[in-house]
Amino acid sequence: GQNIDQPTEMTATEGAIVQINCTYQTSGFNGLFWYQQHAGEAPTFLSYNVLDGLEEKGRFSSFLSRSKGYSYLLLKELQMKDSASYLCAVMDSNYQLIWGAGTKLIIKP
Amino acid sequence: DAGITQSPRYKITETGRQVTLMCHQTWSHSYMFWYRQDLGHGLRLIYYSAAADITDKGEVPDGYVVSRSKTENFPLTLESATRSQTSVYFCASSEEESGGNTIYFGEGSWLTVV
């Protein structure tokens, strides 16, 4: 079957760096997405990786290794507003998005 | 820029009742999706549509019906609501199916079946 694994919850300190991992096993691969979801709100797009390597966007970076079925989202200079759930999703060979259950990130002052 | 809107945002209904959740997008995106989100699960696809009058089942379609007579609207109907359908429902849209095209989500509809 198809599977996306992410940690359920992580805690970090304001100003620090945190890495959220995502491993996947899917039927084919057409890209990996990261979304941010604040409590009670809709998911919003953060990043897309289809080739191996690191994509940087301001304080957020996303890394992909297709051979390892692995990605991570790196958040730098953490702010209280970064407290949210982070969703990893993989697009399979049928262009269907398979979603992880999300990682709840708690930021402490 | 209205984007994608859902209604109602919050609904309480009784078991056995029919409920329709509305979704409207102003971008003329080809693809539209309905997901449900439950604690401990990732977003699960209920139905999707590639264009007007074209719909297809997702991962969890049982108990739901969709239609897409116009590109901009994609209503989701629960024919006879059950308690297991208590969930948050998200409508979403994207320009194309191919990889890299961002999916945009509506604000969500919180449905409670009692």
Kindly report, residue by residue over B4-40, the tens digit of the pLDDT.
Answer: 999 999 999 999 999 999 999 998 899 999 999 998 7
- The residue in chain B having the minimum alpha-carbon distance to the alpha carbon of residue A5 is B42
Query: Residue B108 and residue A97: Cβ atoms within 8 Å?
Result: no
pLDDT tens string A34-62: 999 999 999 999 999 999 999 999 999 99
Q: What is the largest CA-CA distance in chain B?
A: 40
Compute the nearest-CA separation of B16 from chain A (Å): 27
- From the candidates B46, B94, B105, B110, which should be mutated to test the interface with A, based on the most A CB atoms within 10 A? B105
Q: Pick the closest to residue B21 from B66, B57, B59 (CA basis).
A: B66
Q: Is the peptide bond before A7 cis (omega within 30 degrees of 0)?
A: no
Q: Is the pLDDT of residue A13 over 90?
A: yes
Instruction: List the structure tokens of B101.
Output: 């095209």
- Rounded percentage of chain A residues whose pLDDT exceeds 90: 92
Size of interface A-B (CB pairs under 8 A): 49
DSSP A31-96: -EEEEEE-TTS--EEEEEE-SSEEEEETTEEEEEETTTTEEEEEE-S--GGG-EEEEEEEE-TTS-
Mean pLDDT of the region B96-105: 76
Show the tokens assigned to A43: 């998911």
Identify which of A91, A95, A101 has the shortest CB distance to residue B41: A101
Q: Quick one: pLDDT at residue B101?
A: 73
Per-residue confidence at B100, pLDDT binned at 50, 70, 90? low
Cα end-to-end span (Å), chain A: 40
Among A22, A46, A97, the residue to mutate for chain B (most B Cβ within 10 A)? A97
Q: Mind telling me how many Å the CA of A89 is from chain B's nearest CA?
A: 9
Chain B: nearest CA to A108, how far in angstroms?
23
Give residue B102's pLDDT. Answer: 85
Count of all residues that appear for chain B in the document = 114
What pLDDT was estimated at residue B99? 60
| Partner residue opposite A42 with nearest CB, options B100, B102, B105 | B105
Instruction: Mutate one of B33, B34, B48, B103 to test the A interface: name it (highest A CB count within 10 A).
Output: B103
pLDDT in tens, B40-61: 788 999 999 999 999 999 999 9
Kindly list the residues of chain B whose beta carbon comes within 8 Å of any beta carbon in chain A. 40-45, 58, 90, 97-100, 102-108
Q: Which residue of B has its CA nearest to A34?
A: B102
The answer to whether the CB atoms of A101 and B108 lie below 8 A apart is: no
Q: Which residue has the higher pLDDT, A80 or B2?
A: A80
Report the C-alpha gap between A24 and B86 in whole angstroms: 28
- pLDDT tens string B69-83: 999 999 999 999 999
